[in-house]
């Protein structure tokens, strides 16, 4: 007998087959609203718990800058159309998004996950599409391997070098010994390798290494071990906001003097809620960032951000600044192409970006210089502390530090 429920199921499956077919035959593809529009595509992590806390503001920072730019006349009268897709931190989905967008006439593709970037960067080179990303890693910076990939800020590795330079300058003449904490993940291992390589090069011993996961709710055993078995003068933590709060809280709990033993953390640990999450234990934490903070309202780039978001409900975040800064660099490249009277293609944009020399970028990053042999645009790193006056956000500790 043919029951009604089966009819419903068959109808649902038929509808899905129809829609799947539309995916395959590109019926859902959206062409540019106008032939004159410049297409920029991006895939970000907007939903996966892994990195959406950073991926979402980064993606919206890029999107919002282009919206802001279009409201000011676009690129010499030409609108920039920003296409955004959610990759959910999945490499096949990010790659599928690239394949989908690359069928349209995009000039820039912005990716997110490092694993996806390793796959997409060579594809961008093949299709001559300029490639930016959310992860400023040195492994993706070689212009001979990834000729269309550009990094618009100091890399994670440079941030660590800046922190170590700051520590050595602050404690000049004193013998130094470092300890590390990092999660047992790709991110943790890459950062730990970079730190180890540099510390070995400048002859600073590493006296302890502790594994603390991003999702850890307790780091007491690791902090106890650090206190009892080693005597570091500073601790480098490749962590995120929640885990660094846990580490600082537990370090204080076991009696580690965080005024004497300086704790540092990178860009990924920057967050508006550090004072609330960590309480007084994060008072002595120093954070590094290749980007300026939204609290630096005197900077041209921050003024743009504040102007755009006036009256809107938005969550200030260094990742938003990261996205806005990337979009600014891309826009500058596009301006140069259009001003030269050339066609806006990935190839021409690449050449235009390689002419950027001490480009100010609204103060959001240190001045940017690209060349055909160097696609890491900036080297400056700033240091911040959690702002306990406002109990939210960050307080600037230093101007741009340029590590060697």
Partner 1 sequence: MPEFCGDIRENYFQDEPIFKTRSIRFCVITLVVILGLLGTFLSEYSLYLLVIIGIAVIGAIGLNFITGFTGMISLGHGAFIGVGAYSAAILTDRLGLPFIISLPLSGLITCCIGMIFGLPSLRVKGLYLLIATMAAQLIINFLMLNWRSLTMGAYGYAIPPASILGFVFDSDQKYYYLVLIFVLLSVLAGTNIRRSRYGRAFVSIRDHDIAADLVGVSLLKYKTIAFAIGTFYAGIAGALLAHHSGVVSPEHFPLSLSIEYLAMIIVGGLGSIMGSIYGAIFIVLLPEFLQLLLDEYMVELIPTAAAFFPQVNQILFGCIIILFLIFEPHGLAEIHRRVKNYFKLWPFPY
Question: Which C-beta is closer to partner 1: that of 25 or that of 399?
Answer: 25
Within 10 angstroms of residue 28's Cβ, the number of other Cβ atoms is 10
Cβ distance to partner 1 smaller for residue 6 or 202: 6
Neighbour-count burial of 123, counting CB atoms closer than 10 A to its CB (0-12 exposed, 13-18 middle, 19+ buried): middle
User: What are the φ/ψ torsions at residue 225 (nearest 5 degrees)?
Assistant: -60, -45
For partner 1, which is the closer residue by CB, 70 or 185? Answer: 185
Which one of 36, 73, 171, 186 is in contact with partner 1 (CB under 8 A)?
Answer: 186
The smaller minimum CB distance to partner 1, of residues 118 and 207, is found at 118
* Nearer Cβ to partner 1 (60/263): 60
Nearest to 294 by CA among 275, 272, 273: 272
| CA-based R_g, the chain, Å | 23
With CB under 8 A as the contact rule, the residue among 39, 107, 130, 190 that binds partner 1 is: 190
Please pick, from the candidates 38, 39, 40, 46, the single residue that binds partner 1 as defined by CB under 8 A: 46
Out of 70, 122, 258, 388, point to the residue binding partner 1 (CB under 8 A). Answer: 122
- Does position 118 interact with partner 1 (CB under 8 A)? The reply is yes
Residue closer to partner 1 by CB (options 146, 234) is 146
Q: Of the candidates 91, 177, 216, 224, which one interacts with partner 1 according to CB under 8 A?
A: 91
Site string for partner 1, 294-333 (x = CB under 8 A): ----------------------------------------
Nearer residue to partner 1 within complex by CB, 51 or 153: 51
Which residues, in sequence order, are CB contacts of 256 under 8 Å at separation 6+?
A: 223, 226, 227
Window of 16-24, 146-154, 195-203, 360-368 that interacts with partner 1 by CB under 8 A: 16-24
**62 scored as a contact of partner 1 (CB under 8 A):** no
User: Cα dihedral sign for 337, 342, 345, 351?
Assistant: negative
Residue 190: other Cβ atoms inside 10 A: 19
Per CB under 8 A, 211 contacts partner 1: no
Q: Distance (Å, rounded) from C-alpha 363 to C-alpha 293? A: 10
Residue 99 binds to partner 1 (criterion: CB under 8 A): yes
SS3 at position 245: helix
CA–CA gap between residue 314 and residue 294 (Å, rounded):
12
> Minimum distance from CB of 114 to partner 1 (Å)?
7
DSSP letter for each residue of 92-141: HHHHHHHHHHHTTTEEEEEE--HHHHHHHHHHHHHHT-EEEES---GGG-
Which one, 28 or 221, has the nearer CB to partner 1? Answer: 28
**Total residues found in the chain within this entry:** 404
Which residue number, 95 or 361, has a Cβ lying nearer to partner 1?
95
Strand runs labelled E in 183-331: 206-211, 234-237, 262-265, 286-289
215 binds partner 1 (CB under 8 A): no
Residues 6+ apart with CB under 8 A from 319: 54, 55, 56, 57, 58, 61, 134
315 CB neighbour count, 10 Å cutoff? 13
By CB under 8 A, how many residues form the interface with partner 1?
A: 49
Residues forming the site for partner 1 (CB under 8 A): 1-2, 5-6, 9-10, 13, 16, 19-20, 22-26, 28, 30, 46-48, 52, 56, 84-86, 88, 91-93, 95-96, 99-100, 102-103, 113-115, 118-119, 122, 139, 184-187, 189-190, 193
């Amino acid at each position: 007998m043919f029951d009604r429920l089966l009819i419903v199921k068959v109808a649902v499956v038929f509808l899905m087959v129809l829609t799947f077919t539309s995916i395959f035959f590109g019926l859902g593809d959206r062409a540019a609203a106008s032939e004159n529009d410049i297409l920029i595509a991006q895939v970000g992590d907007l939903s996966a718990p892994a990195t959406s806390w950073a991926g979402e503001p980064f993606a919206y920072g890029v999107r919002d800058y282009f919206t802001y730019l279009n409201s000011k006349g676009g690129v010499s009268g030409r609108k920039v159309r920003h296409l955004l897709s959610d990759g959910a931190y999945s490499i096949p989905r990010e790659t599928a998004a690239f394949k989908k967008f690359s069928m349209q006439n995009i000039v820039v593709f912005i990716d997110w996950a490092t694993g996806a970037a390793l796959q997409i960067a060579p594809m961008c080179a093949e299709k001559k599409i300029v490639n930016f990303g959310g992860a400023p890693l040195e492994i993706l910076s070689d212009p001979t391997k990834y000729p269309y990939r550009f990094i618009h800020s100091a890399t994670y590795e440079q941030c660590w070098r800046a922190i170590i330079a700051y520590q050595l300058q602050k404690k000049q003449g004193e013998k130094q010994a470092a300890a590390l904490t990092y999660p047992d993940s790709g991110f943790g291992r890459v950062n730990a390798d970079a730190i180890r390589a540099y510390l070995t090069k400048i002859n600073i011993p590493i006296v302890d290494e502790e594994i603390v996961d991003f999702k850890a709710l307790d780091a007491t055993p690791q902090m106890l071990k650090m206190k009892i078995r080693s005597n570091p003068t500073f601790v480098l933590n490749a962590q995120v906001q929640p885990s660094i709060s846990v580490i600082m809280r537990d370090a204080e709990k076991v009696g580690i003097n965080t005024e004497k033993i300086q704790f540092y953390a990178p860009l990924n640990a920057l967050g508006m809620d550090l004072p609330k999450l960590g309480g007084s234990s994060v008072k002595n934490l120093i954070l590094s960032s290749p980007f300026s903070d939204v609290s630096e309202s005197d900077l041209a780039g921050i003024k743009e951000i504040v102007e755009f978001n006036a009256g809107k409900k938005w969550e200030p975040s260094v990742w938003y600044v990261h996205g806005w800064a990337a979009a600014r660099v891309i826009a500058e490249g596009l301006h140069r192409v259009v001003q030269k009277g050339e066609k806006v293609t990935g190839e021409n944009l690449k050449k235009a970006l390689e002419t950027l020399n001490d480009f100010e970028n609204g103060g959001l990053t240190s001045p940017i210089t690209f060349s055909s042999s160097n696609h890491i645009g900036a080297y400056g790193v700033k240091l911040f502390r959690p702002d306990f006056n406002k109990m939210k956000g960050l307080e600037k500790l230093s101007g741009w530090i340029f590590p060697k």
